[in-house]
Amino acid sequence: MSALVLTGSGISVAEVVAVAREARRVEIGPGVLGRLEKARKVLDQAAAAGQQIYGLNTGLGANLGTAVKGDASAFQRQLLEGRSGAVGEALPAETVRAAMLARLAMLAVGGSGLSPAVFVALVDTLNAGIHPVMPSLGSIGAGDLVLMTAVARVLIGEGEADYQGRRMPAAKALVMARLAPIDLAPKDGLSLINASAVSAGSGALVVTDALSALAQQQQAGALTMEGIGANRTILDPRLHLARPAAGQAEAAKALHDLLARDEAPAPTTLQDPLSIRCMPSIHGTVIEAIDQARRAVEIELNAAADNPLVLSDDELVLSTGNFHTASLSLAFETLGLAIAQCAAASAARFIQLTGSGRNGLPKYLSPVGGASAGFVPLQKTVTSILAAIRHKANPVMLDFLPVSEGVEDHATQTPLVIAKCAAMVALWRRLIAFELMAAAQAVDLRDGLTLAPHTAAIHTAIRALMPTLREDRPLGIEADALHAALADGNWQATLAPADLVEEQA
């Protein structure tokens, strides 16, 4: 894999994922260090002229009016030590790598005034696989500075890092990687931490996972249509042209492609329940919400999100609110609601498939009948998972209190919004696994059914993990196995049409 070249623009969600999950190397493009040097010079000149510059010669937050004198480097270290207040379980290495790359992408734009040597050190640390131990709790979305102190402290040889599979003092990790701790010039500490890099980096991972889950949901929906004998006229493109709601035509086309065959079977009903009949519009909202979240993430990745901001061409240093991510938070709240809607429809289809018997299917999808429980006990499990998703769909971006003596009286809760959205994707994938299981059983119980090539491949993949239910047996273990297959990153490539993800991006 070729290295990702940082240029100060054009970083995509997919590139963040490649660095975070596939250890893609990062290189500094031509012009970046020169841009950083120019901004650094403007910053130093403004400070020398006596301008008050937040975080350089003033305190932070409620200490805004306190002048900083003496050793500027010592103040930057003090700044980092004083804001190392994050707690809780450490974030996964892939999230930390995503945050490091996100900060590098933002810094490469050139608005921070960061010393070029510090930028180079951050690139080297990421490429060496030194991952700061970053606690997960501490950011309210007004910049992720309390979390990002973990990155800055590792660069100066403080704190802890994961390196070569072991947790160790950062200083030891740097020595083992043949790197040296850095010295901080004025504002360098603040430049490293005062941006929403954790939010943007983790958001890129969630967008990718949501897109993968959506493709799998399309597969489950298509197999359900096969198993229940659904009326496929709902996929006629003329219907979606008549009401061109966001993403609806794309979702219908993807379902149509999954079900494509030389001769479609006759429907068993005039109209199906809404969870089936309205799949294109339900899935379409997720397509639109994913794209909105992707756009919001990529704006952050390629923006100068610093406070204060150095405008090199104008030779100015101005205070900003660019670190504040209200639009990013709203995008992921919206995505969470769209996922919850889609998950609810998946759960409803599961109950339709496994209920008293619809469209000629036996009760509970049991081939033996009588007292056999078949799939019906899993309705409780599905309902419990959906309840967890619905709980997480409740918005949190308004849940904040004024802090720092009222100076910081607004927040966006972006890290929490994105974290709960990530948890919703994981739970949603569990519901997809249950729908796939039930749909495959329905297919097996429908005599004379010939599947479309794509749905046949999906059915074969399910049956490679679990046999047809012929008598009652524990199904929870099998649901876990199918969920693991959906989540491990390999299912999508082997089952989806080659262009399915691209169509839905």
Structure tokens at 99: 């945050």
Instruction: Compute CA 198 distance to the chain's CA centroid, rounded to the nearest angstrom.
Output: 11
- Per the CB < 8 A criterion, the answer to whether 436 and 447 are in contact is no
Instruction: Give 18: exposed, middle or buried? Use CB within 10 Å, 0-12, 13-18, 19+.
Output: middle
- Chosen domain end from 162, 195, 228: 195
Residues with Cβ within 8 Å of 249's Cβ and at least 6 positions away in sequence, in order, are 237, 240, 241, 280, 284
Please give the pLDDT value at position 504.
40
What is the average per-residue pLDDT within 332-346?
A: 98
Residue 318 maps to a domain: no
Please give the pLDDT value at position 352.
95
Task: Indicate if the pLDDT at residue 261 is higher than 60.
Answer: yes
On whether both 187 and 246 belong to a single domain, the answer is no
Integer Cα distance of 114 and 36 in angstroms: 7
Q: What percent of the chain has pLDDT over 90?
A: 77
Residues 391-433: tens digit of each pLDDT: 999 999 888 888 877 777 888 899 999 999 999 999 999 999 9
| Domain around 269 | 207-298+339-504
Structure tokens at 128: 């060496």
On whether both 62 and 137 belong to a single domain, the answer is yes
What is the average per-residue pLDDT within 263-292?
A: 92
CATH code: domain of residue 488:
1.20.200.10
Considering the entire predicted model, what is its pTM? 0.94
On whether both 18 and 133 belong to a single domain, the answer is yes
Please give the pLDDT value at position 498.
38
Integer Cα distance of 335 and 293 in angstroms: 7
On whether both 58 and 112 belong to a single domain, the answer is yes
Task: Indicate if the pLDDT at residue 499 is higher than 60.
Answer: no
Q: What percent of the chain has pLDDT over 70?
A: 97
On whether both 183 and 215 belong to a single domain, the answer is no
On whether both 111 and 242 belong to a single domain, the answer is no
Integer Cα distance of 451 and 301 in angstroms: 44
CATH code: domain of residue 28:
1.10.275.10
Q: How confident is the model at residue 492 (pLDDT cuts 50, 70, 90)?
A: low
- Chosen domain end from 195, 228, 251: 195
Residue 22 maps to a domain: yes
What is the average per-residue pLDDT within 86-105?
A: 97
Structure tokens at 161: 């890092």
On whether both 164 and 274 belong to a single domain, the answer is no
- Chosen domain end from 195, 227, 244: 195
What is the average per-residue pLDDT within 224-235?
A: 94
Integer Cα distance of 436 and 457 in angstroms: 12
Residue 35 maps to a domain: yes
On whether both 117 and 53 belong to a single domain, the answer is yes
Number of domains in the chain: 2
CA 118 vs CA 25, 186, 376, 474: distances in Å: 18, 12, 59, 56
Instruction: Give 25: exposed, middle or buried? Use CB within 10 Å, 0-12, 13-18, 19+.
Output: middle
On whether both 140 and 249 belong to a single domain, the answer is no
Residue 248 maps to a domain: yes
What is the average per-residue pLDDT within 464-476?
A: 95
Residue 48 maps to a domain: yes
Please give the pLDDT value at position 494.
52
Residue 332 maps to a domain: no
Residues with Cβ within 8 Å of 380's Cβ and at least 6 positions away in sequence, in order, are none
Q: What is the mean pLDDT of the chain?
A: 92
Please give the pLDDT value at position 505.
43
Q: How confident is the model at residue 69 (pLDDT cuts 50, 70, 90)?
A: confident
Residue 322 maps to a domain: no
Residue 325 maps to a domain: no
On whether both 186 and 229 belong to a single domain, the answer is no
Q: How confident is the model at residue 108 (pLDDT cuts 50, 70, 90)?
A: very high
Q: How confident is the model at residue 115 (pLDDT cuts 50, 70, 90)?
A: very high
Task: Indicate if the pLDDT at residue 496 is higher than 70.
Answer: no
On whether both 62 and 127 belong to a single domain, the answer is yes
On whether both 191 and 213 belong to a single domain, the answer is no
Torsions phi, psi for 162 (to 5 deg): -95, 125
Structure tokens at 499: 């262009």
Integer Cα distance of 259 and 453 in angstroms: 8
Which of 184-193, 207-216, 354-363 is modeled with the greatest confidence?
207-216
- Between 50-64, 191-205, 461-475, the lowest mean confidence (pLDDT) is in 50-64
